[in-house]
Amino acid sequence: MKKTFQGRVITPGTCRAEALVSHGGFNTLASYQTPMLLGDKAVKCSDQNNPDLYQKSMLGKALCLPETIGSTTGGMALYTVCATGKQPACMLFSKHIDSLAAAGAILAAYWTDAKMPVIDRLGEEFLSAVKDGMTVEVKENGVVEIE
């Protein structure tokens, strides 16, 4: 059954992708560190502290998360991931976006050609409803549909 959520657009765009869900804070550096260093084509999450995502491919997925956590290299890591075409299809935040993720997403939007819509404030219910493998559709106006 399709469910619809309204969020706020941080960086615009549309996409349709498979959901990948982190219920805890997403540590951007810890998650992208190893795949970036080793050139892992599947971009598998290297954060051993994140049981939801560890060792799962993040490339091209609709990354659903509450917020990002960790080092202030997080935004820079996200920028690099986008500049090298290794980004998720979109990032969907249940909470208000944090400063590191916002910086990374906005840097990517202004300084790279990457397309990665970012929506925040989708609410706790969004993160409870969305499951790995579901199809997620992001509309231009911040509407997110899951099925």
Selected range binding another protein among 12-20, 70-78, 124-132, 133-141, rule: CB under 8 A: 70-78
Among 71, 123, 129, 143, binds another protein (CB under 8 A): 71
For another protein, the closer of residues 98 and 138 by Cβ is 98
Assess 25 for contact with another protein (CB under 8 A).
yes
Minimal distance, residue 136 CB to another protein, in Å:
21
Would you state the structure tokens that stand for residue 138, as one six-digit string?
């992001």
CA distances to 67, 81, 89, 138 from 48, rounded to whole Å, are: 17, 19, 23, 29
CA 147 – CA 56 distance, rounded (Å): 21
* φ and ψ at residue 34, rounded to 5 degrees: -70, -45
Selected range binding another protein among 14-22, 72-80, 127-135, 138-146, rule: CB under 8 A: 72-80
* φ and ψ at residue 79, rounded to 5 degrees: -60, -45
Total number of residues binding another protein (CB under 8 A)?
41
* φ and ψ at residue 83, rounded to 5 degrees: -65, -25
Assess 69 for contact with another protein (CB under 8 A).
yes
Nearest residue to 49 via CA among 20, 27, 73, 32: 27
| Footprint (CB under 8 A) of another protein, residues 42-61 | 48-49
The one-letter amino acid code at 131 reads: K
CA 53 – CA 28 distance, rounded (Å): 12
Assess 111 for contact with another protein (CB under 8 A).
yes
Residue ranges binding another protein (CB under 8 A): 10, 25, 27, 29-30, 33, 36-39, 48-49, 67-76, 78-80, 83-84, 97-100, 102-104, 106-107, 109-112, 120
